[in-house]
A and B are shown apart, each in its own frame.
Chain A
């Protein structure tokens, strides 16, 4: 079945540092890929998505590119802020399976 592997956290950065959270996937066919974010005490919110190879999803300064050759969808941001502190989930949907999530990566940004 489909699966998502994302880097183990937690990740701690200083404000304005560069962020990368790795995500790789296993799926048949051409899945859609997502990043969701969960701020403290809240539910999950869609951050960005890409539905086909080489698509780049972007939102709030975050970007991720759908790389079929490496089966990856790494999340990046050039300059993180304290307000970006949250848990980030990579997810995919495809074939006959519903949305499958990674375990989440907790990001803490210090001032």
Chain B
């Protein structure tokens, strides 16, 4: 138990569906992240939020839409995805998103997404 909880753990969706991934952290952190983990590729940072404000979007397609209503919750809204979007989506949090701080990032267990 890392203090970062993701739901659902597994999701299968069609290309025309709309679904959402949810993340909640109980660590009192101020920064939250979405990462994508695909087979045989390095982890890809998708979005960063600091104090509810989005501070980074790494050229992620608009079919992925993040939402951060408060520092403890982060959502990833999914719409008209493609089969190549199938991956493990990892949420993470840290005390701050400031770099050069030796900051430890804590990860959730991930949501396995399959797009059919």
- Give A87-103 as 1s and 0s: 1 = Cβ < 8 Å from B's Cβ atoms: 00100011111111111
Closest CB in chain B relative to A52 CB, distance in Å: 9
- Size of interface on B: residues with Cβ below 8 Å to A: 26
Stretch at the interface among A17-25, A37-45, A78-86: A37-45
Q: Which of A45, A96, A102 touches B2 (beta carbons < 8 Å)?
A: A45
A contact patch SS: strand
A interface residues, tally (CB under 8 Å): 25
Q: For B88, give the chain A residue with the smallest CB separation.
A: A43
B55-99 interface code vs A (CB 8 A; 1 in, 0 out): 010000000000000000000000000000000001010000101
Inter-subunit contact A93/B100 (CB<8 Å): yes
* Chain A residues within 8 Å of B107, by CB: 36, 43-45
Do the beta carbons of A97 and B40 come within 8 Å of each other?
no
Q: In the bound complex, do residue B99 and residue A93 qualify as a contact, i.e. CB atoms below 8 Å apart? A: yes
22 contacts between A and B (CB under 8 A): A32-B100, A34-B104, A41-B109, A42-B110, A43-B2, A43-B90, A43-B108, A44-B92, A45-B107, A46-B104, A46-B105, A49-B102, A93-B100, A94-B99, A97-B99, A98-B33, A98-B97, A98-B99, A101-B42, A103-B41, A103-B42, A104-B42
Residues of chain A at the chain B interface (Cβ within 8 Å): 29, 32, 34, 36, 41-46, 49, 51, 89, 93-104
10 further A-B contacts with Cβ under 8 Å, apart from A34-B104, A49-B104, are: A43-B107, A44-B90, A44-B92, A44-B107, A45-B107, A46-B104, A96-B99, A98-B56, A99-B45, A102-B42
